[in-house]
Structure 1
């Protein structure tokens, strides 16, 4: 249940209700409905903190969700807002004594607290003191270096991220002095702190201030007047080495801008102040009779460069933007004075009778909250209107101050007995309306937050303003993006006779339509075409040389560009007759032709040319367009009328045309020698230039050769080769063509290609014997001697019987090594005497005699070789090898006689087990399996797997055979013999196995990765 005070506070808060600017269009025209289901939440909502102080509150500092409260009973209360139920109280009575707290400053991280004090009364024995308290400590540390200096302002280092040290900071005093120091913990111990991390004597060029009390001093703004510094802040200008230091006194704002060349030098900001030692500082001065002034900056985040600046004086709030790229000596631009409001949003009995200056204020992005002793007011920075007011009751005492957390942005106000928090909700909700009223439409659209209804209102207002300023085309572009009535906007431009603006509006509207809005697209396209026709028609009526008129040329280009867009092109294609009628009604033949080209209706154009016998024009249109199907469609007609030009056009298209699809047009042409010559030229181009392999094209070319160019038939057939699988024409069809054309020589080649050798030879004999010989020689390439002999005998029979030329028959025997005299004797008549071929018979008998003699010599050589081999075998049986005691195994290097061994004729020696181990990997899988099986059998029989004879069983067999004995081996001896056959048939180093293994890799594929890893 809320208390009476809470109910009163709720009733005492008022927020100005902003109403959207009136819209002059109905719902149907805009498409938006303005609905407000409930009252909007106020921008500023006050919440009382559940906190009861033990005494009057003097000061509050808030930073990074840490709150420090100083009370009149010398108690500091520290609260972590993440754990508000665990407050921490610190009694500072013993530190302060009879001093009065005048200032309390908390760094942005909430870790470092500075407290400045002065004597409660004019007591020279108690100088001003400064105390320091770290977040992790409960004991105040006295800053002896600042004794006698009342700290009135602290410029914190917003780039500092350390919790143990503050980084370089600036301190302003009540006498206008500026000190630079660094505060924080000293070492790792939390309670051992030292706030003076570094001090340096003042530079020699300020001898007036060289004393112990002024160590760390970097500047003095007073010199003579000693004005108190009320606020100070410094920032580094982004992406530069420049720093800006801004400080305020009661009546002035000072700006110091300088470059820091060495960031390690201490004091750091002495480099900034150096250039102001001999020149007069730049400042702004205002009349102010108040004993205080306040300075505030607004920034998106503490690390960002400030965006706006504000300063509270008696006259009001001095507000400006902060521009780091502005004049090098002044970054506070667009300064304006915001007067404190004198009106009230509450009832008249609560209004103030006398306007007084606010005690403090807080700056937000778009508003400023002004704190008075009993109420808070919120004023818009954009239009200076009072938008919020909150009246406080006397139960909690008078309001003291209002502050903002620099990290979280939360706003806190406190009175003598209570603490309040203000929640900011959608502060920029009505900013767009303010920017509309100021005419800043781009900013208004930015703050509409993508709300389509608000954006539409902004655009309407902007378009109306441009229309009133007679900027019709810009207005048309913006009107097209609104939901305003299409008819109303069109009539506005028509009434002003602004045809260009109307076209701009229509074209922009067309861009926003979807493809399914066919009716709207058609209407706009036809309207725009009509407007263009009217404009171009006026040029034609006024000037006969309108084609050279620059304005007409520009208009024509604009019209062509309009027709080339996708939506327009599709619409014109579907409404071609309507568009053509409009152009025809205006007598615009040029654009009619352009429309035909644009629609690519080349088929109709070509038909019209052919209908009028304008064949050359039709061919030119055909060549200029890109639809290849029209070539297939009209090539036949054009080829009949213009054979040479048409073939040239077809050849110019290259491989983009498929000859097979052109074949019907070529075949359908009524051929005479003139047409055939051009068709042959195109087919030869396809075959020899484009490497066409389609059989129909080759057959058609061969048919034209057979009819019109018979001399080319043999050249073509020869170019295709004698491999029937490689030719591209139909051989049977070609043979039939050549038979019909009586091309015997071609028939011979084709018959041979088909394998009809007898037919080919018979046909060749009808031409010439030489041709028949060429055909008969072809089978020699296929290794078919029997067929070749048969063909040669056919030629011989023809020579002997048909020509009765015995001398030619005898020469014939010299040309073929397969035909002999006895093969052709049956072809001679019975009356032919032996004298005609006596020489041939003698040559044949001599050949037989030489052959018999060669066989005898070969038999003698074979007998001698067998005798030599028999002697070598006998010598090998009696051969022996001596084994000495010092001989070693060629594999393991140990003495050979220690274990069973093998000795080979090449003198290599191996232990039997070493030989088996080395030879096994070289054997095939079958041999390895057989060897393992034999060893296993031998183990079962003898019980010793390594019992192998030292002398080869093959030698034993040889000896027994030589002595005439043929005793059969025992089972054990047979197994040993089989093992010897596998492992001792040849030397390991000299045998074929070693030679065969020369191409084997040292490392197998399956072991490659493992070996590489081991080597690595």
Structure 2
């Protein structure tokens, strides 16, 4: 249970909430907790009580050492709070008093500095190792009152301190290294000092080897702080040394001697250099304090020097020493809180954190922000604990400890950077503010709003717009701000950035921004055009930005839904150039071509169609273009070639006026497609034939001639063509079409009305001789009946061999005498006589062939073949006479069952079924049925045998067609190949 005293202690801790210098602009976030109510600094009393009043304290690596007034050292491992030890130190130095204790960062090496208590005493330095309880004086350190120790933060050895620097009350700087081992607890390697402007050896080189570096120039100028660190990974080191009134800076390369690093070489260049590398602050105090803040990698980032007027604070930058005499940047003096800013009351000690400095007074601890110098925390101590003796920080664990006369307290620091972003925001360091807000969206939004408002107030409207777009500020409010200032470019920037941030499913907002930005661009371009500034750089820049905007993926996608609105906008501004570009971007080519046609720019429309190579647009706009500019349209259609279907262009052709100009161009295009791409579409050919029939009869005849006389190969509708030509009274074309349809009689009759030669050509077309003869007779009848011209009739006999004189005689009148036909009649009779003689010869040859066949048949009936006992079946190679067999004229012999087995697989399905049926009938015949006589006069058994023989023995399997059909089959089947291979082996 918490005691009343502890409750009082807790109440005495007051955290001051940092407030911004002016109210933060509210963001678009709602119900977000922006403040952290956890105390930034809190104190906890440790639960161990020293045996006497505390005089000095040192902490490092969770190892605590207290010096008490009873002359004892209290040592405690904070990880084991129940185990501590006390060591007496005053019995070794009765005439000296303890002036300070110093613990290295590892917590293993402790130095106790003693000062003379009276004239019999002398200053001395004593060493104590963590694992030892025996104090050892450091040789060669007598007569030097050590007031500060500069520890080596690179040292990792538990037995050695590494090179360290000691500061004395007289302003001397010494270098030494302390070692602890089994033989001797420590050794002092080398010490040196320097006194500007020259150096003096003390007591000869035997006593102390090296040099003394004298800060005070022979006067007593106590060293109050020493810090040294390596610069990066180089051999260069920088050193900070403070006195009550000065801050000295040294930088140089350390030299390795006998494998050990020595810092004394850093001071050599300053022997001949004017004393300029220091910062001086007047003070009446006899003390000052120096602290560094180290990051997680033990790299020093900032430093603070406590002086009487205030804390001098700066950012460490050793690399800047190349161009200046200082090792830090942004140095400033932080004043103490106003209520304590008096000459007789200054902090006794302090601790430096990353963003605050904790000031220790005799009865209180105050925390001041390093960024805005405001008091953020105050802790008052009760007199029951005594006065505050020191406040220190563990250099390794970064814990903070406050020590009074009677107690030890530990300070807990919780997110001390929580308000840093506010401070940086007030100081207009917005990038730093974002770094320290830990990506909190509320804080980031507040920072961005503040930044945007600042830029807006400075007139940097476009930069302000970019930042505003990243905030949650009201969209309408921001837009109105730019509209009131007539900052169109800034408004476009803001809208564009908001468009970038929108998700694709926020279609309504995207559409609104796209339409608005389009209106802004069009307004700017229109204003410049009306001002005659169309060729200026400003106009071209806006036009270029507009084109880039239209190509944005979100804009392009949005245009698919709002393009009609945008087209109307562009039309209202009269910006046809951008309208065409936009339609091209949206691939809305229909609108582009329609705009050209609306402006009667037919050639531009054709050029656009040819560039786009979109057939569907040709089909859509061809009627208008063909009507207005037939020649150029026909040229464009011809240039497209096979990409266009002539059949789909028929509506465009049919809609044109039927004047010669349009017809000629249509015919030119259709002829080109037929000749170069072999178009066979019937509708195209019918339409072309119609144009020929109406406007060009000569071309019609050439077309019909090219199509040929095979009705199956022509590409037009012959019946339609014949009907059309009859309507147009095109007799010659009708003759060709009738002949094509096989209407030979009508074709000849119509041809006779046109031209005799045409009729003759038609008469020669049919393939049947009888049809040719009949048409020639019709021609002859027409000519002879009309003219009764004997010579012309004789010419018919010469032109057509199918017509004889007797065929045309009936066409002559009765007054014509036979004498006029004597010669053709005699010729005809002679031909008949020759035919009779040929028939007689053919009959004699046929009679001789019949007699020869009869004699051959008779000879076969008397033919016989002798079968020997040694003859074997050609299939099974067993004696032939053992079973019934077949003997073929070729000489091959087969057992009947062997031949049957061989022939069955090669029979067709019908004959195989027939054979099986005959065999079944033969096997089931009874004795009565055996004697039955068939209609052929043979017994039934013999008749069945004969039918079986006709199937099985119709041909020799070795000499008949079967062997010829098997010529491509292998002699050995795949199934028997392996077996035969094994036999041959």
TM-score, normalised with respect to structure 1: 0.60
- Report the Cα offset of residue 402 of structure 1: 0.4
Distance in 1 between the 2:174 and 2:603 partners? 97
Instruction: Tell me the residue number matched to 1:260.
Output: 254
Cα 1:5/1:664, change in 2 over 3 Å: farther
**Once the two structures are superposed, what CA deviation does each residue of 1:156-206 show, in whole Å capped at 9, x if it has no partner?**
1112222222222111122222222222333xx3x7422324579999x95
- Report the Cα offset of residue 399 of structure 1: 0.6
Instruction: Tell me the residue number matched to 1:222.
Output: 216
1:310 has 2:297 as partner: no
- Report the Cα offset of residue 438 of structure 1: 1.9
Distance in 1 between the 2:460 and 2:137 partners? 70
Q: Aligned to 1:548, which of 518, 535, 539?
A: 535
Cα 1:414/1:611, change in 2 over 3 Å: closer
Query: Do 2:96 and 2:116's aligned partners in 1 also have CA atoms closer than 8 Å?
Result: yes
- Report the Cα offset of residue 410 of structure 1: 0.7
- Report the Cα offset of residue 520 of structure 1: 1.8
Query: Do 2:254 and 2:261's aligned partners in 1 also have CA atoms closer than 8 Å?
Result: no
Between the two proteins, the alignment pairs up a number of residues equal to 677
**Once the two structures are superposed, what CA deviation does each residue of 1:774-802 show, in whole Å capped at 9, x if it has no partner?**
xxxxxxxxxxxxxxxxxxxxxxxxxxxxx
Cα 1:319/1:207, change in 2 over 3 Å: closer
Q: Aligned to 1:196, which of 188, 206, 215?
A: 188
Query: Do 1:477 and 1:504's aligned partners in 2 also have CA atoms closer than 8 Å?
Result: yes
Q: Aligned to 2:442, which of 450, 453, 472?
A: 453
Query: Do 1:174 and 1:229's aligned partners in 2 also have CA atoms closer than 8 Å?
Result: yes
Query: Do 2:619 and 2:652's aligned partners in 1 also have CA atoms closer than 8 Å?
Result: no
Distance in 2 between the 1:193 and 1:709 partners? 125
1:495 has 2:493 as partner: no
Distance in 2 between the 1:582 and 1:140 partners? 94
Instruction: Tell me the residue number matched to 1:405.
Output: 394
Distance in 2 between the 1:71 and 1:679 partners? 120
Cα 1:91/1:678, change in 2 over 3 Å: farther
1:32 has 2:30 as partner: yes
Residue correspondence of structure 1 range 629-668 to structure 2 within 5 A: none
Cα 1:39/1:428, change in 2 over 3 Å: closer
Cα 1:130/1:612, change in 2 over 3 Å: closer
Distance in 2 between the 1:439 and 1:201 partners? 47
Unaligned runs of 5+ in 2: 654-665, 680-703, 709-739, 741-840, 844-983
Instruction: Tell me the residue number matched to 1:176.
Output: 171
Instruction: Tell me the residue number matched to 1:90.
Output: 87
The residue matched to 2:320 in structure 1 has which SS?
A: coil
1:588 has 2:588 as partner: no
Residue correspondence of structure 1 range 247-396 to structure 2 within 5 A: 247-260=241-254, 262=256, 268-281=262-275, 282-301=277-296, 303-304=298-299, 306-328=300-322, 329-343=325-339, 356-396=345-385
- Report the Cα offset of residue 239 of structure 1: 4.3
- Report the Cα offset of residue 465 of structure 1: 1.9
Distance in 1 between the 2:636 and 2:112 partners? 104
Instruction: Tell me the residue number matched to 1:523.
Output: 512
Cα 1:679/1:429, change in 2 over 3 Å: farther
Distance in 1 between the 2:52 and 2:415 partners? 36
The residue matched to 1:184 in structure 2 has which SS?
A: coil
Cα 1:2/1:609, change in 2 over 3 Å: closer
Distance in 1 between the 2:278 and 2:376 partners? 32
The residue matched to 1:194 in structure 2 has which SS?
A: coil
> Bigger shift: 54-63 or 277-286?
277-286
Distance in 2 between the 1:90 and 1:707 partners? 134
Query: Do 1:361 and 1:403's aligned partners in 2 also have CA atoms closer than 8 Å?
Result: yes
Query: Do 2:619 and 2:649's aligned partners in 1 also have CA atoms closer than 8 Å?
Result: no
Distance in 2 between the 1:577 and 1:600 partners? 14
- Report the Cα offset of residue 501 of structure 1: 1.8
Unaligned runs of 5+ in 1: 345-351, 652-658, 685-705, 711-739, 741-828, 832-991, 994-1016
Distance in 2 between the 1:467 and 1:81 partners? 56
Query: Do 1:129 and 1:147's aligned partners in 2 also have CA atoms closer than 8 Å?
Result: yes
Query: Do 2:61 and 2:394's aligned partners in 1 also have CA atoms closer than 8 Å?
Result: yes
Distance in 1 between the 2:674 and 2:185 partners? 107
Q: Aligned to 2:235, which of 222, 229, 241?
A: 241
Query: Do 2:25 and 2:450's aligned partners in 1 also have CA atoms closer than 8 Å?
Result: no
Cα 1:419/1:182, change in 2 over 3 Å: same
Instruction: Tell me the residue number matched to 1:755.
Output: none
- Report the Cα offset of residue 317 of structure 1: 1.0
Cα 1:21/1:524, change in 2 over 3 Å: farther
* Structure of larger gyration radius: 2
Instruction: Tell me the residue number matched to 1:415.
Output: 404
The residue matched to 1:298 in structure 2 has which SS?
A: strand
Instruction: Tell me the residue number matched to 1:777.
Output: none
Cα 1:410/1:672, change in 2 over 3 Å: same
Distance in 1 between the 2:115 and 2:420 partners? 46
Distance in 2 between the 1:174 and 1:23 partners? 51
Distance in 2 between the 1:386 and 1:170 partners? 35
Distance in 1 between the 2:36 and 2:542 partners? 55
Distance in 1 between the 2:315 and 2:674 partners? 84
Query: Do 2:201 and 2:210's aligned partners in 1 also have CA atoms closer than 8 Å?
Result: no
Query: Do 2:42 and 2:411's aligned partners in 1 also have CA atoms closer than 8 Å?
Result: yes
Please give the root-mean-square deviation of Cα atoms over the aligned residues, in Å: 4.1
Distance in 1 between the 2:186 and 2:707 partners? 115
Query: Do 2:201 and 2:212's aligned partners in 1 also have CA atoms closer than 8 Å?
Result: no
Query: Do 1:229 and 1:248's aligned partners in 2 also have CA atoms closer than 8 Å?
Result: yes
Instruction: Tell me the residue number matched to 1:153.
Output: 148
- Report the Cα offset of residue 709 of structure 1: 12
**Once the two structures are superposed, what CA deviation does each residue of 1:949-1000 show, in whole Å capped at 9, x if it has no partner?**
xxxxxxxxxxxxxxxxxxxxxxxxxxxxxxxxxxxxxxxxxxx99xxxxxxx
Instruction: Tell me the residue number matched to 2:7.
Output: 7
Distance in 2 between the 1:626 and 1:242 partners? 74
The residue matched to 1:470 in structure 2 has which SS?
A: coil
TM-score, normalised with respect to structure 2: 0.62
1:574 has 2:561 as partner: yes
Instruction: Tell me the residue number matched to 1:601.
Output: 588
- Report the Cα offset of residue 267 of structure 1: 6.1
- Report the Cα offset of residue 406 of structure 1: 0.8
Distance in 1 between the 2:443 and 2:452 partners? 14
Distance in 2 between the 1:623 and 1:535 partners? 33
Instruction: Tell me the residue number matched to 2:690.
Output: none
